[in-house]
């Protein structure tokens, strides 16, 4: 089933285009990996799909409600010393459901616990967020994204700053979520892993490449980046 | 000992003494609740910039001879609060430089106006009490009491009803925005409330010391507590207790009210800092 249709889209900010001529469909159960060098507009594209930025040209058709799109943003400096428990952070994912209701209800609390358990961090419920390891923090933010939406998850570099073990665990969790029926759109600069799990690749270049994993492996881009970059890493931390 | 109670009893028998205590405690409570969000959002400097702007606005109001200063000071301060908040989010304009410019200009122009248009015989005395608060507690009027009561009812209601939203906007503005929260509106409402708190608090502690009232309780609470809820509650309690003790001490020692309250806040901060270190040391062993 088609969830989001991107047609002739140009994205950017302050009227400056950073990525253009995007045409692709997001279908149910897809695992789309967005790769590309720094500053090529990967985060800008995700923010445009979320409605945080408006498209400069072209359209995005939504066949689902905006409330069904969850988001895992890059961590901000504010969060590093923020006094909050894991439960407080995860519960804030229910904001979009609350509308004018000021407090969360029992069902939501239960659901938050289920999501924590799904990501194997049920034991952290009462811990302080700022005292967790990087991998645990990312899982908490992923649990929050799950509370806000169950159809599509947009992940902005979820493995930035994680050690190799935590990175592997994070990929396994995301893959598990995808297999349970959640559509995943993930920005990554680790193209090797992207190729392992993803069903589709969106390469943010000019012109952009979009296709299935097999199509990508046959493309010139793949040949270029596979020979030139050891370990398949392109670009570093991207902070637009 | 008896003497102490007698002095306090004497001050509290005066309506002015009771006003100071009521206004002080309520303003301190509002300031500390907002302080948690401001400190965490890295907006502490806005409180400082605003208090200077409020001084400039007050000078203009005094010079023009308005009977009620609030009419001019309040809208001007609210306006600058919104401008400061908007520009601090805009990466193109240098937000912190703008705040520096705005606050220094307001101070300079305010002082100049007061001196050029000799409205009162004691300009430096007036300036000093606007900047550092009144020397004695006997300057508050019944309208100050009512304004602070209405203000604190509004702030506490807003804070309770929107507690979860405020948490979401403070913790992660992008996420809150992506899940449909109108974050701009919350920022504007918060900026407006800060402006109002600063204007009302200026009568008590003076404009230079207002930002201490906003940030110290939150910073102290953050040393020890680890959840947003406990930090918020603790910050409110610290602020109320410090202000209460501060006002009583200033009655006993005949010291300036604002400065006394803030010295107590500073002492409290160091106490919490040490407790925080001790707690962390224990958990690491």
- Per-residue pLDDT of A113-144, as tens digits, reads 998 998 889 899 899 998 998 889 999 999 99
Nearest residue in B to A90, CA atom: B168
Percent of all residues in chain A with a pLDDT value above 70, rounded to a whole number:
94
Q: Which residues of A touch B179 (CB under 8 A)?
A: 67, 71, 93, 95-96, 148
Distance from the B84 Cα atom to the nearest Cα atom in chain A, whole angstroms: 19
**Residue B9 located in a structural domain:** yes
Is the pLDDT at A232 greater than 50? The verdict is no
**Residue B100 located in a structural domain:** yes
**Residue B166 located in a structural domain:** yes
pLDDT class for A213, splitting at 50, 70, 90?
confident
Q: Which of A32-36, A190-194, B121-125 has the highest mean pLDDT?
A: A32-36
Q: Please compute the mean of the pLDDT values over residues A15-20 and round it to a whole number.
A: 86
Contact A85, B227 (CB under 8 A): yes
Span B107-137, pLDDT tens digits:
899 889 888 887 667 777 777 777 777 666 5
SS3 of residue A59 by DSSP: strand
Beta strands A200-203 and A2-13, pairing class: unpaired
Q: Please compute the mean of the pLDDT values over residues A35-62 and round it to a whole number.
A: 87
Q: What is the per-residue pLDDT for A37? A: 81
Size of interface A-B (CB pairs under 8 A): 90
Which residues are CB-contacts of B260 (< 8 A; sequence separation ≥ 6)? B246, B247, B249, B250, B253
**Residue B140 located in a structural domain:** yes
- The radius of gyration of chain A from alpha carbons, rounded to an integer in Å, stands at 18
**Residue B14 located in a structural domain:** yes
Q: What is the per-residue pLDDT for B90? A: 67
Query: How many whole angstroms separate alpha carbon A99 and alpha carbon B180?
Result: 9
Q: Structural domain tally of chain B? A: 1
What CA–CA distances, in Å, run from B14 to A185, B25, B110, B243? 68, 17, 33, 19
Span A93-111, pLDDT tens digits:
888 777 778 888 888 899 9
Q: What is the per-residue pLDDT for A85? A: 94
Which residues are CB-contacts of A86 (< 8 A; sequence separation ≥ 6)? A116, A121, A124, A125, A126, A127, A128, A129, A132, A140
Span A156-187, pLDDT tens digits:
888 888 888 888 888 999 999 999 999 999 99
SS3 of residue A54 by DSSP: coil
Distance from the A59 Cα atom to the nearest Cα atom in chain B, whole angstroms: 18
> Longest Cα pair distance anywhere in chain B, in angstroms?
65
Give A195 or B245, the one with higher predicted confidence: B245
Query: How many whole angstroms separate alpha carbon A42 and alpha carbon B16?
Result: 62
Distance from the B172 Cα atom to the nearest Cα atom in chain A, whole angstroms: 8
Q: What is the per-residue pLDDT for A118? A: 87
Contact A73 B174 (CB under 8 A): yes
**Residue B282 located in a structural domain:** no
Nearest residue in A to B219, CA atom: A83
Q: Please compute the mean of the pLDDT values over residues A209-233 and round it to a whole number.
A: 69
Q: What are phi and psi of A127, to 5 degrees?
A: -70, 160
Q: Which residues of A touch B41 (CB under 8 A)?
A: 78
Nearest to B284 by CA among A129, A131, A134, A79: A131
Q: Which residues of A touch B42 (CB under 8 A)?
A: 78
pLDDT class for B283, splitting at 50, 70, 90?
low
**Residue B249 located in a structural domain:** yes
Span A77-86, pLDDT tens digits:
888 889 999 9
Span B216-260, pLDDT tens digits:
999 999 999 999 999 999 999 999 999 999 989 988 888 888 889
Contact B175 A81 (CB under 8 A): no
Contact A78 B167 (CB under 8 A): no
Nearest residue in A to B92, CA atom: A14
Region of poorest pLDDT, from A92-101, B90-99, B157-166? B90-99
Nearest residue in B to A68, CA atom: B179
Is the pLDDT at B207 greater than 60? The verdict is yes
Q: What is the per-residue pLDDT for B230? A: 95
Nearest residue in B to A148, CA atom: B179
Which among A52, A82, A88 has CB closest to B174? A52
Which residues are CB-contacts of A81 (< 8 A; sequence separation ≥ 6)? A130, B222
Q: At what angle do helices B142-161 and B15-40 cross, to 10 degrees?
A: 30
Nearest residue in A to B158, CA atom: A102
Residue A186, H or E segment: strand A183-187
Q: Please compute the mean of the pLDDT values over residues B20-45 and round it to a whole number.
A: 88
Contact A135, A162 (CB under 8 A): yes
**Residue B132 located in a structural domain:** yes
SS3 of residue A75 by DSSP: coil
Contact B178 A131 (CB under 8 A): no
Contact B171 A148 (CB under 8 A): no
Structure tokens at B279: 């707690």
For chain A, the residue count is: 240
Nearest residue in A to B221, CA atom: A83
Which among B179, B180, B227 has CB closest to A84? B227
Chain A interface residues (partner B, CB cutoff 8 A): 14, 47, 50-52, 66-67, 69, 71, 73, 76, 78-79, 81-85, 88-89, 91-93, 95-96, 98, 102-104, 128, 130-131, 144, 148
Contact B175 A144 (CB under 8 A): yes
For chain B, the residue count is: 285
Domain coverage including residue B208: 2-276
Beta strands A152-156 and A183-187, pairing class: parallel
Contact A95 B168 (CB under 8 A): yes
What CATH number is associated with residue B199? 1.10.3470.10
Span B138-153, pLDDT tens digits:
567 788 788 889 988 9
Q: What is the mean pLDDT of chain A?
A: 84
Region of poorest pLDDT, from A145-154, A217-226, B144-153? A217-226
Contact B164 A102 (CB under 8 A): yes
Angle A227-A232-A237 (CA atoms, 0-180°, nearest 5)? 135
Query: How many whole angstroms separate alpha carbon A59 and alpha carbon A79?
Result: 34
Q: Which residues of A touch B227 (CB under 8 A)?
A: 83-85, 88, 128
């Amino acid at each position: 089933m088609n969830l989001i249709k991107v047609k002739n889209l140009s994205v950017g900010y302050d009227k400056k285009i950073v990525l253009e001529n995007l045409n692709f469909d997001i279908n149910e159960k897809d695992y789309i990996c967005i790769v590309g060098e720094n500053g090529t507009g990967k985060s800008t594209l995700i923010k445009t799909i979320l409605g945080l930025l408006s498209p400069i040209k072209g359209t995005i058709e939504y066949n689902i409600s905006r409330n069904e799109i969850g988001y895992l943003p890059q961590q901000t400096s504010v969060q590093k010393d923020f006094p909050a428990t894991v439960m407080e952070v995860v519960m804030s994912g229910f904001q979009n459901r609350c509308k004018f209701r000021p407090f969360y209800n029992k069902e939501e609390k239960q659901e938050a616990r289920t999501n924590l358990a799904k990501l194997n961090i049920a034991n952290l419920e009462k811990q302080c967020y700022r005292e967790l390891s990087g991998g645990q923090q990312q899982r908490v933010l992923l649990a929050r994204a799950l509370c806000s939406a169950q159809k599509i998850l947009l992940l902005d570099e979820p493995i930035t700053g994680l050690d190799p073990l935590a990175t592997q665990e994070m990929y396994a969790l995301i893959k598990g979520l995808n297999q349970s029926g959640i559509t995943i759109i993930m920005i990554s600069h680790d193209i090797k892993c992207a190729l392992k799990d993803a069903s589709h690749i969106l390469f943010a270049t000019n012109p952009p490449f979009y296709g299935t994993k097999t199509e990508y492996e046959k493309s010139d881009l793949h040949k270029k980046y596979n020979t030139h970059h050891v370990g398949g890493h392109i670009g570093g931390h991207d902070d637009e | 000992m008896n003497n102490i109670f007698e002095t306090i009893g004497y001050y509290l028998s005066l309506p002015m003494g009771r006003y100071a205590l009521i206004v002080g405690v309520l303003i301190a409570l509002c300031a500390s609740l907002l302080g948690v969000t401001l400190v965490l959002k890295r907006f502490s400097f806005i409180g400082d910039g605003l208090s200077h702007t409020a001084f400039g606005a007050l000078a203009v109001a005094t010079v023009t001879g308005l009977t009620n200063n609030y009419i001019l000071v309040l809208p001007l301060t609210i306006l600058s609060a919104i401008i400061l908040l908007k520009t601090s989010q805009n990466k193109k304009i240098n937000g912190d430089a703008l705040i520096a410019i705005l606050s220094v200009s307001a101070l300079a122009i305010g002082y100049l106006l007061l001196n050029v248009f000799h409205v009162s015989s004691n300009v430096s005395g007036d300036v000093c009490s606007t900047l550092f608060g009144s020397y004695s507690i006997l300057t508050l009027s019944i309208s100050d009491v009512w304004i602070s009561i209405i203000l604190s009812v509004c702030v506490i209601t807003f804070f309770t009803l929107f507690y979860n939203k405020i948490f979401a906007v403070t913790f992660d503005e992008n996420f809150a925005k992506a899940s449909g929260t109108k974050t701009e509106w919350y920022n504007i409402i918060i900026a407006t409330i800060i402006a109002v708190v600063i204007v009302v608090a200026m009568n008590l502690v003076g404009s230079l010391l207002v930002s201490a009232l906003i940030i110290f309780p939150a910073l102290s609470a953050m040393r020890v507590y680890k959840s947003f809820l406990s930090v918020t509650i603790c910050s409110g309690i610290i602020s109320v207790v410090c202000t209460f003790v501060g006002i009583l001490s200033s009655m006993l020692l005949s010291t300036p009210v604002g400065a006394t309250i803030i010295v107590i806040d500073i002492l409290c901060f160091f106490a919490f800092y040490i407790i925080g270190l001790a707690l962390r040391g224990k958990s690491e062993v």
